[in-house]
Amino acid sequence: MENYIIRSKARRQLKDRMGLAVRTILLSTILLNIVNVMLDITDDNILPFYILFAIGYLFISAPIQAGRCKFLLNMVQGKEEPKLLDLFSQFNIFLKVFAMGLIIFIMEAVIMLIPMLIIFITKGSLIEGVMNVKLSVSSVSLIFISSLAVSIFLLIIQIIYSQINYIMVENPEIKIIECMKRSRKMMKGVKFKYFKLQFSFIGWWIFSIFTLGIAALWVNPYVMLANTNFYEEIKNRIS
């Protein structure tokens, strides 16, 4: 199925239940932002606090994110009547969702250390390297290239594991590693297609900025429904 068909299906589904979708996605966004603001009150420039509150955010947001996936699946599949209370229906799997988020966070943190490791290797001292790196064009180039590579790797990880919440919501009995393995298998060969789907919404997000965020009330559920339809298309790849 081409991406334009996925987007078309999402628009039809959104049109059928516009008010419900906007209210539910808006509520989930508000709740997640409240959690984020509360955890950002403390100085996150101190690395231990940043790590602690990042983990705290994962823990508190896990059931809301899983519940949102349940709502979106109900919107797309039509097996159950979608309702706002779906947001709070997945506390039975929130520890698994949290654990998967934590694993991915650790993977990303390790990858993000690569530029600092390169400084350490090239300069012999991390502190000395950071202070003197501006004096070396080759070092700056190396750090730029490594940072670009890190950004690409982080994007790939996000894409590879983009389906884990959907999988866990539909298969609450499976183990964490199995869920992540299924997501990797699903995304094999379609990662660029998924990236193009996300990229296709850039115009809508720019339009949302010009409307001071008002258009985002429609764009946000539209994008999420499109992503859910993408999941529906590829989920049979693991069978």
* CA-wise closest residue to 76 among 86, 88, 91: 86
Angle at the Cα of 196 from the Cα atoms of 193 and 201, rounded to 5 degrees: 140
* Cα–Cα distance measured from residue 112 to residue 125, given in angstroms and rounded to the nearest whole number: 18
- Taking residues 98-109, what's their average pLDDT? 92
Q: How far is CA 83 from CA 1, 17, 19, 31, 36, in A?
A: 28, 10, 11, 17, 25
Q: Please state, rounded to an integer, the average pLDDT across all residues of the chain.
A: 87
- Binning pLDDT at 50, 70 and 90, where does residue 56 land? confident
What confidence score (pLDDT) does residue 147 get? 82
CA distances from residue 56 to 49, 101, 102, 139 in whole angstroms, order as listed: 10, 11, 10, 36
Mean pLDDT computed over 223-236: 95
pLDDT digits (tens, 9 = 90+) for 124-168: 554 554 555 454 566 677 778 888 888 999 999 999 999 999 999
**Which residue type does 53 have?**
F
Token pair 């993408």: residue: 230
Q: What's the average model confidence in pLDDT over 198-211?
A: 96
Single-letter amino acid code for the residue at 106: I
pLDDT at position 135 is 47
Select from 114, 78, 95, 82 the least CA-distant residue to 168: 95
Domain ranges of the chain: 3-234
